[in-house]
Structure 1
Amino acid sequence: MTTPPPDDLGSPAPPPNPWTPPDSSADPWAAPPAPPTPPRDQRRAGWFASPPPGASYAQLARTSRHRWWRPIVGTLVVVVAWLLGAGLLMVVLARTASPEAGFDPDTLWPKNPTWALALSLATIAVALPAIWLAAIWVQRRRPGTLSSVAGRLRWRWLAHCLGPALVALLIAFTVYLALVPGEMRGVLTWNTTWTAFLTTAAVIVLLVPFQAAAEEYLTRGWLVQAAGAYLRTPWVGILLSAVVFAALHLPPNGWTWLAHGSLGVLLAWLTVRTGGLEAAIAYHTVNNLVVLLLEATAGPIDLSTVRAADWRSVVAELVGYAVFAWLVVRSARRHRVASVVAAEERSPRGHPAAA
């Protein structure tokens, strides 16, 4: 008789704390322990290597096939494949799109704001296959290990994180409106047509989930695990991913750097704490959907212009971040969400047990 496997929301026992090393005297800056090398016949049997049981999310790239050069070469593959994919997408759309898109033959960028919005989101989304390619081809591991310690995206847990994300955003908006009365009138004022709004809304709803997921797989996924392949502590990857995440948004001032950087730290910490990208993807997707849909009511959206933050918007956002973190951690404990790779159950003969 075998124990039923855990579902998307957890495991039969509370998960170990990923922040506590097995040996309290271990150097947090040292490399994580190397997983055992499989026998020669097993190494030849398949392409993929699995992370060892008990590995935290940050250490999922440290498999038996890990070598010092794989994260470095993999990062280069991600960048090159992403740029090539984005460029190819722009060329194809410039040659096949309808004339109303108004593609500039020199820049390959559309003058139509709706097409420009769609292309902006799509060129970010093409990072997803680039990241999966690097995991499969360079690191020789399943791309699902970028999603969570379960080796896949835990859809039920992601759905549970959508509610806290929406609650946190509503609280952040409320705090901001209390600090700056009337500041949101320009965003909340209807200044478009229903046809234009519905067209823009369709683009946002269809593409934002892929754009948000791509940013999460790149920063909280690839970068956190790349650093975790070398170091026992996850904090180097957390801080590195936060800096890259903030830089990708081209912040115009220090307050904007602080807003994006603090969000990057929070989402990366939650990723390691809950063992997967689900909470980060949920918050990022809900945030972008709400913000862009509100902006669409005021007319065309220009993502090339980054709105500068001030201390009041940062305070409001930090309150929302804290609420989201508290709700997610509380829910993760209640649902016993696994934060480390589960031990493989085996039959008395030593073979993996049947589910």
Structure 2
Amino acid sequence: MYIAQAYKGLHDWWRYLIGTLIIIFAVIIGQIPFTIAAVLKAMQEGESIMGMDEQKLMTVLEPNLNLFLMLLSFAAGLLGVILVAKFLHKQSLRALTTARSKIDWKRFWFAFLLWGVVSSGFVFLDYFSSPENYVLNFKLVPFLILCVIAILLIPLQTSFEEYLFRGYFMQGIGVLTNSKWIPLLTTSVVFGLMHIANPEVSQLGYTVMIYYIGTGLFLGIITLMDEGLELALGFHAANNLFTALLVTADWTALQTHSVFKDISSPTAAGFIDIFMPVFVVFPLLLFVFSKVYKWTNWKDKLLGTVEKQKNEDYKTLE
């Protein structure tokens, strides 16, 4: 079982507490370059970043520089997760990633390409059906720089979130509670709440939290059903990467030199924006994944207990 991989390392409750604090510290360290750059830029323009909301803060720097510096904190966080697992828990990256004997990169690329095509299709469908809501934002040189930054760093950002929530927290809460549904629900809700400060929430209302929590639940389900992070890593990377490259808006967290810019007025999101992905698209993706990878025993994998396997590879602390 994927959650039981935590037994291959040291899994005392206090290790997860200390590990979480170390990871938070790593993220804070990674935010220092962005903070310094934003302060210097604001000083040049005679402004102060104190009291700025996140939407205003994201427009202080040039979009490519802003994206690069913003993503550095996630890269630092990912390094923090890996180091905590290795040195504090004595757990391998493979055990944190999957229950298989090795990481299955074919699964990653399948999810990445599938969701990349589908999500891009949704963007172009909306563009051609409502062209008045978009303007062409494409500029060759800034876009090429964006491509380099996005391709190199966005997978690190999404991997940090997956290794933290569906990996470190999922396994930690699972072995501490001997449960699967508790870490599934807990990590999904916390993952959603982590996005509450995003500009989208202030523009679209708290209803958008249904999308964030629903996305976390979807990623948690595919992690538990597939006994590994590979599908979640691929999906999340494709979701953020293709969005950053294709479309931006003044009220979104990712301000980029994308191909298109959404100029429509943000309103309370409705069925298409929130409910269709969570209640239609994600269930269809679960169906596709379940058929491709022959998932069975859904009840036990999602709601069952976590049992320590009697294996010499598992470290006990008695």
**Interval containing the TM-score (normalised by the shorter chain):** 0.7 to 0.9
Q: Which has the larger radius of gyration?
A: 1
Superposition deviation, residue 315 in structure 1 = 2.9
Counterpart check, 1:219 vs 2:165: yes
Aligned residue among 27, 45, 48 for 1:82: 27
Over aligned residues, Cα RMSD in angstroms?
Answer: 3.7
- 1:113–1:301 Cα contact (<8 Å) kept: no
Aligned to 1:303: 254
Superposition deviation, residue 64 in structure 1 = 6.4
Superposition deviation, residue 196 in structure 1 = 2.4
- Listed as ranges, the matches of 1:62-73 within 5 Å are 62-63=7-8, 65-73=10-18
Superposition deviation, residue 94 in structure 1 = 4.5
Tell me the amino acid that sits aligned with residue 311 of structure 1.
F
Tell me the amino acid that sits aligned with residue 273 of structure 1.
M
Tell me the amino acid that sits aligned with residue 280 of structure 1.
A
Superposition deviation, residue 304 in structure 1 = 7.4
Aligned to 2:148: 202
Superposed CA offset, 1:252-277 (max 9, x none):
32321000111100101110111111
Q: How many residues align?
A: 273
Structure 2 residue runs without a partner (length 5+): 51-56, 257-265, 296-300, 313-318
Tell me the amino acid that sits aligned with residue 235 of structure 1.
W
**Per the alignment, do residues 304 and 199 of structure 1 end up closer, same or farther by CA in structure 2, a change over 3 Å counting?**
closer
- 1:172–1:320 Cα contact (<8 Å) kept: no
Structure 1 residue runs without a partner (length 5+): 1-55, 96-100, 346-355
Counterpart Cα distance in 2 of 1:128 and 1:143:
12
Counterpart check, 1:148 vs 2:148: no
Larger helix proportion of the pair? 2
**Per the alignment, do residues 302 and 67 of structure 1 end up closer, same or farther by CA in structure 2, a change over 3 Å counting?**
closer
Superposition deviation, residue 125 in structure 1 = 2.3
Counterpart Cα distance in 2 of 1:133 and 1:64:
13
Counterpart check, 1:186 vs 2:128: no
Q: Secondary structure at the match of 2:115?
A: helix
Aligned to 1:14: none
**Per the alignment, do residues 111 and 172 of structure 1 end up closer, same or farther by CA in structure 2, a change over 3 Å counting?**
closer
Aligned to 1:288: 240
Counterpart Cα distance in 1 of 2:284 and 2:234:
14
Aligned to 1:315: 275
How high is the sequence identity, in percent, across the aligned residues? 24
**Per the alignment, do residues 68 and 203 of structure 1 end up closer, same or farther by CA in structure 2, a change over 3 Å counting?**
closer
Aligned to 1:50: none
TM-score calculated relative to the size of structure 2: 0.73
Tell me the amino acid that sits aligned with residue 228 of structure 2.
G
Superposition deviation, residue 213 in structure 1 = 1.0
Counterpart Cα distance in 1 of 2:188 and 2:229:
14
Aligned to 2:293: 332
Superposed CA offset, 1:284-325 (max 9, x none):
1111122111125x79985379x7633321133122212221
Q: Secondary structure at the match of 1:288?
A: helix
**Per the alignment, do residues 63 and 246 of structure 1 end up closer, same or farther by CA in structure 2, a change over 3 Å counting?**
same
Counterpart Cα distance in 2 of 1:343 and 1:161:
33
**Per the alignment, do residues 196 and 168 of structure 1 end up closer, same or farther by CA in structure 2, a change over 3 Å counting?**
closer
Superposed CA offset, 1:83-114 (max 9, x none):
22332x447x859xxxxx97446769862221
